[in-house]
Amino acid sequence: MFMDSKKINSNELLNSIKVVLVGTTHPGNIGATARAMKNMGIVNMALVEPKEFPSDIATYRSKAAKDVLENAEVFDTLKMAISDCELVIGTSARERKVPWPILNPKDASQEVSRGSLNNKVAVVFGREDRGLTNEELGLCNLHVHIPTDPEYSSLNLSQAVQIMVYEIRSAILENEGNDGNWDVEFADNDQTERLISHMDELMQEVDFYEIDNPRKLLLRVRRFFKRSRLDVMEVNIFRGLFAAIQKKLK
Ligand code: SAH
């Protein structure tokens, strides 16, 4: 659980990053994304419910990045695609109703390059026509908006990916050789999700809220835990406390 202090190694870090495309409609965008990724040395691609994949159009548009497509993993849900990731970054072309920590590509990339030793990072992109759902954005630790002209804020999917992977690569190269900055492994998405469910279970057991009318409570709890980016030790402390309270209640 404890990590040795470790120097940041660019190749290791680039390999720990995966680009996740959710519900992509046009296979050409998948191919162009593969190319954009490989140009920046990021080769792990995950696809959630792509409309058409594998596809000749995707292969054609990927040019010399066919291997990225061949190795791409396909998932039924975003939750499954990111279950092993300790830092999940969601991208969004517009502001959403529930404010989440929102960074520009440069600052988010600094997070990636500093905080991800021994960890997996996912950068998540949405559907061409309607982006990511609020529920999908709620699975993320932080959100990134690429500062576009507000009159026309929506970039082509693969171009949004290109900007993100370029910034991530730049930040990683800049931090090469620096010390990592955390002593305990970060919790992965699955561990944090189980903690959030456990807290919900406990809140229901003590009638903390009306089941039919939780209003924004669950979302706020979720945001708190996601924003905190908990490590494994912290998750264990909360889970242990919740379990102890449940035991006393029985
Ligand atoms: N009409 C959609 C836009 C989707 S564009 C919407 O309103 O959300 C497809 C995807 O490209 C987005 O889900 C996001 O992942 C990425 N993207 C496009 N423009 C972006 C921007 N300005 N900042 C961050 N991501 C962007």
Which helix (H) or strand (E) element contains residue 159?
helix 157-174
217 CA distance to ligand 1 centroid (A)? 27
For residue 249, which amino acid is it?
L
Facing residues of 192 across strands?
Answer: none
Q: Report in angstroms the alpha-carbon separations of 154 from 85, 137, 159.
A: 26, 17, 10
What does the pLDDT read at residue 4? 58
Ligand 1 pocket (Cβ < 6 Å) reads 91-94, 125-126, 128-132, 144-146, 148, 153-155, 157, 160
**Which atom of ligand 1 sits closest to the CA of residue 148?**
22
pLDDT score recorded for residue 2: 61
How confident is the model over 69-121, as pLDDT tens digits? Answer: 999 999 999 999 999 999 999 999 987 777 899 999 999 999 998 755 667 99
**100: burial class by Cβ within 10 Å (0-12, 13-18, 19+)?**
buried
What are 177-198's pLDDT values in tens digits?
888 778 888 999 999 999 999 9
Which amino acid would we find at residue 34?
A
pTM over 0.85: yes
Which pLDDT score is estimated for 67? 98
- Most informative mutation of 88, 91, 94, 152 for ligand 1 (most atoms within 8 A of CB): 91
> Closest by alpha carbon to 205, among 217, 213, 197, 215?
197
